[in-house]
Amino acid sequence: MSVIAPDFKLSGFIKSLITDIVWALLIMSLIGIPAIMMILFFVPMPVIDGELLTPFLAFTYIADPSRTLPLVQAFMETDMFKIMAFPGFGFAALLAAGTIFVERKMLAKLQLRVGPFYCGKFEGILQLMGDGLKLISKEIIIPAKADKPIFWAAPVLFVASAAAFVALIPVAPGWVVADVDMGLLAVFAVIGFFPIVTILSAWSANSKFPFIGGIRALFQMVSFEIPLILSLLGVVMVTGTLNLSEIAASQSSFPWILFLPVGAIVFFITMLAELERIPFDLPEAESEIVAGWLTELSGMMYGLVQLGTYLKLYAFAALFTVLFLGGWNGPMIVPPLPMEIATHGLEMGPITVKIGGLESLFTQLITQEMLNGTLMFVLKTVGVIFFILLPRGVFPRIRVDMLLNLGWHKLIGLAFVNIFIALGLVYAGVLGPGGLQ
């Protein structure tokens, strides 16, 4: 019988515990709190209940429940919250994770398999977490003579490019990380990063299969960028703006897919090609060139590229929703928020609990419109994601020359047809000033 710790003494254990706690408190009070104060000193603080928040008050408000909500609200209004959580990284990563699970399950059903089943009690719901743990604990093997700094940086840059793309997507009225006037052009600029990151990763691996895959990815993404750009020109012509929030807001009566279906179809096909999805998954063609430009990526590097790929998928689906399906517009199905709780307090028998700050939270930040807009946006985006995933179970892969032929001859021609449809709609007075609203 083995003993885990033969010299174990309870008194010694308690003593070591107390020592650790004392040291932790000492370091926290001598270094930690001054450091937090110094950082907070340079952060612009909000005005709460008519007084400017100082670093000291920020600490006391956390202990005061009636002033916690205004603090939370002030935090939710900062750019940092938008970047980290709601319209930004956290929200997109959550939807991307959901997409991975749904894709595996749906593909399995299409091919009469079961899919992830054992991990987690219900239908393999924890499969993704298991895969993540597996990937993070696997060894990262870097091929000999690889260009190490670039090879390490490429997966991170891929995720970062996808995140920059996500930053431009408006989710609900006012809920967008970067509300820029040239939003659509910024999207094109960010899309231009992906081939560069791909070819960097492929070149630095010093291996043949990644290099062939990287060159294929470069040609594919670059060829389909022109139909992509031209197919969205129709929407810009009928709205007269490049701001994505304004484009989404302009579709309050009808989505543009009703008037510009050709552009929507061309954009959808080019979207599949930019995402390297079947039938355009030539850069990762597993039956021809092992795994294409992902061949030498192992462990968490591969995991990061997967995360970036699905973030990009979400961003493209969201862009389709914003441009053609009306973004956050839709029927109001979210019930009105319980304002009487905010104004009069929550009544539980003889006790009435007043929650301070809830009223301004409900009227300024989390309104009925915002919740409904987010719900509509997510529903439409999930629908578009479903149609992006569906071809994987239906179509075979096409040849490279067919791909280039499709992109350069057919899709560009159709994109021009779309431009002339938009021009005709504007000049016939159907859309634009004086037309349908």
Partner 1 sequence: MQTKLVGEIAGNYSTVVLMFGFAIVAMAPALLISRMISPRKKSNPVKFLPMECGQVPSGEGRTHFMMQYYPYILMFVIFDVVAIFLYAWGSALLELPKSATLPMLGFLAIMFGAMSFALYQSGRRRIW
Q: Within 196-215, which residues bind partner 1 (CB under 8 A)?
A: 203, 205-209, 211, 215
Q: Shortest gap between Cβ of 407 and partner 1 (angstroms)?
A: 9
d(CA 321, CA 5): 60
Contact 220, 278 (CB under 8 A): no
Q: Binders of partner 1 among 49-108, rule CB under 8 A?
A: 79, 82-84, 88-89
Contact 166, 175 (CB under 8 A): no
SS3 353: strand
Nearer to partner 1, 207 or 329 (CB): 207
**Lookup result for tokens 């909000």:** 46
In one-letter notation, the amino acid at residue 273 is A
Q: Binders of partner 1 among 295-324, rule CB under 8 A?
A: 295-296, 299-301, 303-304, 307
d(CA 26, CA 313): 48
Q: How many residues sit in the footprint of partner 1 (CB under 8 A)?
A: 83
d(CA 348, CA 327): 40
Query: Which segment (21-29, 107-115, 390-398, 402-410) binds partner 1 by CB under 8 A?
Result: 402-410
Nearer to partner 1, 69 or 282 (CB): 282
242 in contact with partner 1 (CB under 8 A): yes
Q: Which of 199, 384, 412, 414 binds partner 1 (CB under 8 A)?
A: 412
Q: Binders of partner 1 among 415-434, rule CB under 8 A?
A: 416, 419, 423, 426-427, 432-433
- CB-facing half-sphere around the CA of 129: CA atoms within 13 A: 6
Dihedral in degrees, nearest 10, Cα atoms 59, 64, 65, 69: -50
Q: Shortest gap between Cβ of 193 and partner 1 (angstroms)?
A: 9
Nearer to partner 1, 9 or 145 (CB): 145
To the nearest 10 degrees (0 to 180), the angle between helices 148-167 and 183-191 is 160
Residues 6+ apart with CB under 8 A from 140: 298, 299, 300, 301
Q: Which of 148, 344, 409, 410 binds partner 1 (CB under 8 A)?
A: 409
Q: Binders of partner 1 among 138-197, rule CB under 8 A?
A: 138-145, 152, 155-157, 159-164, 166-168, 177-181, 184-186, 188, 190
Q: Binders of partner 1 among 270-299, rule CB under 8 A?
A: 290, 295-296, 299
Nearer to partner 1, 51 or 139 (CB): 139
Nearer to partner 1, 213 or 326 (CB): 213
SS3 342: helix
**How distant, in Å, are the alpha carbons of 19, 247, 355, 362 from that of 341?**
47, 36, 8, 10
Nearer to partner 1, 88 or 327 (CB): 88
H/E stretch holding 131 = helix 127-136
Q: Binders of partner 1 among 368-397, rule CB under 8 A?
A: none
Q: Which of 110, 375, 404, 417 binds partner 1 (CB under 8 A)?
A: 404
Nearer to partner 1, 315 or 376 (CB): 315
In one-letter notation, the amino acid at residue 13 is F
Nearer to partner 1, 28 or 141 (CB): 141
d(CA 399, CA 407): 12
